[in-house]
Amino acid sequence: MAQVQAVKAHAEDVMSAAMRRHLPAPLSEADPLVRPSEHADFQSNVALALARQAGSSPRALAEELRAGMVGGPFTATVSGPGFLNLTVDDRALWGLVSARLAHGGRRLGVGSPLTGSRIVVDYSGPNIAKEMHVGHLRTTVIGDCLARVLGFLGADVVRQNHLGDWGTNFGMLIQYLQEHQQHAPAAEPGTRVSELDGLYRAARKAFDADSEFAERARQRVVALQAGDEATVALWRQLVEVSTRAFQLLYDRLGVLLTPADVAAESSHNPELDGIAEALTAAGIAVESEGALCVFFDDMTGADGRPLPLMVRKQDGGYGYAATDLATLRHRVVDLAADRILYVVDARQALHFRMVFAAARRAGWLPDTVEVVHVPFGMVTAPDGKPFKTRSGDTVRLSQLLDQAVEAARAATADKPSDLSATERERVVAAAGIGAVKYADLATSRAKNYVFDIDEMVSLNGNTGVYLQYAHARVRSILARAAMTEASSGPAVEVVPEAPLHPAERVLILQLDGFGAVLAEVAAELEPHRLCGYLFALAKAFTDFYGACPVLRAESAELRGNRLALCALTGDTLARALDLLGLQAPERM
């Protein structure tokens, strides 16, 4: 079975056809303004919006459009000053349930509108030799969710983990290693990257305190960039230890990133001279106080003077800007991207504006390619300040996940459960880690949010744990049905003629909106819309389950229909949780 058209889209089609029949262009092409309604399933105010231009009264136009609505499972009435109320036939609603269940690959009837487009998603991008901390949470979790949703809708998604593995810091680190340790921490599995954190701190201290060391560190950068063998060998060890530690964390977090997605800053090193030359030759970059810079009329500092995008620094080294220009060109030319998303915190907004503008001027970014900086706010403490440990350090991501798992254990401790000890451990981990990810995704991306672990693992409210429980509850109903069923499994045979309870209607309409909300997430790049949808779905299910007995339904027919509705709800919850990057355990 194939993709299923959502009933709202169907209503829009039928309304648009009626408008084409009764209205002249361009009025006939206007948005039919179909919205969910409290008075019917949907309502359209289009007659009120267009009557004056159409030279008619709203009520008369509404009547005309109503009469012109042909085909489609709708009953339309006109009310008030000219509202069109649309009610979907019961049969059609039950039909949607079976059609969505029958769609292969558990796609639930959702189409693949993004097929044929290639989308680069740049996310996570931690820096080598530093441990991932709370500041890396949002980019990793939001970027991964977007990659999943875009991929599900058919896009060819190219994940890019732009590791910070280049630049002046490495001179300092390698020089310190050479003078103090001779070798990098062993690149063994399990090597704690916190050792590297310690190294970073010590090297930084020496760099700031000792100007002679600082000078040797700068020489070391030159050696690294020139490809000096011993220097490069140490650098490679640092990269290896860090990359391995990052991967352990990605696996634990359940994000899609693998070593194959690494697109590190260093990989563009050989292109940087060419970038500087091309920009200079085109007159786009100019010398300024010994550095090579690009200026923009519309980007100025507090003093009104244009701010520089520094392509090459005074000391001749290249930095973040040059690398990002090379990266962008690579994504356009070699990766043939149609759309490039940079999931990076809001503080880098100016950097990306400058990089995009410079690339456009240089002809590296054609208008056919859409580049978007997808910014996000901070994770804060209750006082609104950056989230820190008691001692004022940045919170390591691994430590934060440990805390979340412990909190989930405590929160679920007195829930009755017949799981084995191992299963229980797995569920607690899924709940704890899911709680952190969900809390991050559920707040609107642009806002800061307060990190509150107890609230995150709460069993009530808009939390990951609540939704995971909602899913497990649906599965347990289905499992109980299977046990009482004579044959192989729960009947998901739908009888469209069966009566339809109002709570069933609400649930079916909610399920039917899944594809539309995914399309919204893909267009607006806002995962919290999917969270809001999921929470409303869980609520619609609770209301349905409270009002409509399933296992003890009045008739075999109703029981079958309701089990099908449970199955579709369970599958939709599981799919949505997966697209958010959360596990959906069958039992909890």
Dist CA 464 CA 454 (whole Å) = 12
For ligand ARG, which is the closer residue by CB, 224 or 344?
A: 344
In Å, what is the CA distance from 205 to each residue of 131, 210, 214, 231?
17, 8, 10, 21
Query: Looking at 100, 162, 331, 373, which residue binds ligand ARG (CB under 6 A)?
Result: 162
Give the chain's largest Cα–Cα span.
87
Nearer to ligand ARG, 95 or 317 (CB): 317
Residue reference for tokens 């503080």: 347
Our finding on whether 144 is near ligand ARG (CB under 6 A) is no
- Nearest-approach distance from CB 127 to ligand ARG, in angstroms: 5
d(CA 134, CA 395): 6
Q: Per rule CB under 6 A, is residue 41 in the interface with ligand ARG?
A: no
Contact present, 154 and 115 (Cβ < 8 Å): yes
Query: Which of 3, 5, 16, 127: binder of ligand ARG (CB under 6 A)?
Result: 127
Task: Select the span of 108-116, 119-127, 217-225, 563-571 touching ligand ARG (CB under 6 A).
Answer: 119-127
Pick between residue 124 and residue 175 the one whose CB is nearest to ligand ARG.
124
Q: Judged by CB under 6 A, how many residues of this single chain contact ligand ARG? A: 9
Q: How far is the CB of 162 from ligand ARG (least distance, A)?
A: 4
Question: Nearest to residue 256, comparing CAs of 372, 108, 140?
Answer: 140
200 interacts with ligand ARG by CB under 6 A: no
Q: Are 565 and 97 in contact (CB under 8 A)?
A: yes
Q: How far is the CB of 401 from ligand ARG (least distance, A)?
A: 19
By CB under 6 A, is residue 271 in contact with ligand ARG? no
Q: Which of 136, 559 has the CB closer to ligand ARG?
A: 136
Q: Least CB distance from residue 329 to ligand ARG, whole Å? A: 12
State the alpha helices, DSSP H only, in 494-555: 502-512, 514-524, 528-547
Q: CA angle at residue 113 from 117 to 576, to 5 degrees?
A: 105
CA distances from 3 to 103, 251, 421, 561 (A): 7, 32, 41, 21
Piece in contact with ligand ARG (CB under 6 A), picked from 98-106, 120-128, 175-183, 523-531: 120-128
Nearer to ligand ARG, 44 or 327 (CB): 327
- Could you say which of 109, 164, 167, 515 contacts ligand ARG (CB under 6 A)? 164
The answer to whether the beta carbons of residues 124 and 257 sit under 8 Å apart is yes
Residue 143 touching ligand ARG (CB under 6 A): no
Tell me how far, at minimum, the Cβ of 95 lies from ligand ARG, in Å.
47
CA dihedral 260, 266, 272, 274 (to 10 degrees): -50
Minimum distance between the CB of residue 195 and ligand ARG, rounded to whole angstroms?
20
The answer to whether residues 573 and 514 touch, using CB atoms and an 8 Å cutoff, is no
Q: Count helices and strands (H / E) in the chain.
A: 20, 13
- Give the three-class secondary structure for 114: coil
* Least distance to ligand ARG, CB of residue 393, Å: 17
133 part of the interface to ligand ARG, by CB under 6 A = no
Helix (H) or strand (E) holding 300: strand 291-300
Whichever of 354 and 435 has its CB closer to ligand ARG, that residue is 354
Q: How far is the CB of 248 from ligand ARG (least distance, A)?
A: 19
Number of Cβ within 10 Å of residue 131's Cβ equals 24
The minimum distance between CB 543 and ligand ARG, in angstroms, equals 43
Distances (CA, A) of 167 to 235, 453, 486: 11, 36, 68
CB of 221 to ligand ARG, least distance (A): 17
Q: What are phi and psi of 133, to 5 degrees?
A: -125, -175
Other C-beta atoms within 10 Å of 435: how many? 28
User: Which member of 129, 309, 344, 378 binds ligand ARG (CB under 6 A)?
Assistant: 344
Nearest to 141, CA basis, from 372, 338, 376 = 376
The nearest distance, CB 122 to ligand ARG, in angstroms, is 5
- Cβ-based nearer residue to ligand ARG, 263 or 565: 263
Applying CB under 6 A, does 167 fall inside the site for ligand ARG? no
Helix (H), strand (E) at residue 120: strand 118-122
Answer for which of 111, 125, 151, 464 binds ligand ARG (CB under 6 A) is 125
Place of tokens 């939001």: 142
Using CB under 6 A as the binding rule, whether residue 122 contacts ligand ARG is answered as yes
Report the run of H or E that residue 274 belongs to, with start and end.
Answer: helix 272-281
Question: Which tokens is 62 given?
Answer: 């509404």
Q: Is 213 an interacting residue with respect to ligand ARG (CB under 6 A)? A: no
Chain residue whose CB lies nearest ligand ARG: 125
Q: Which range touches ligand ARG (CB under 6 A), out of 121-129, 305-313, 424-432, 472-480? A: 121-129
Tokens of 427: 């569920």
**Contact call for residue 571 and ligand ARG (CB under 6 A):** no
When binding is defined by CB under 6 A, the residue of 42, 342, 364, 545 that contacts ligand ARG is 342
What is the contact surface with ligand ARG in residues (CB under 6 A)?
Answer: 122, 125, 127, 162, 164, 324, 327, 342, 344
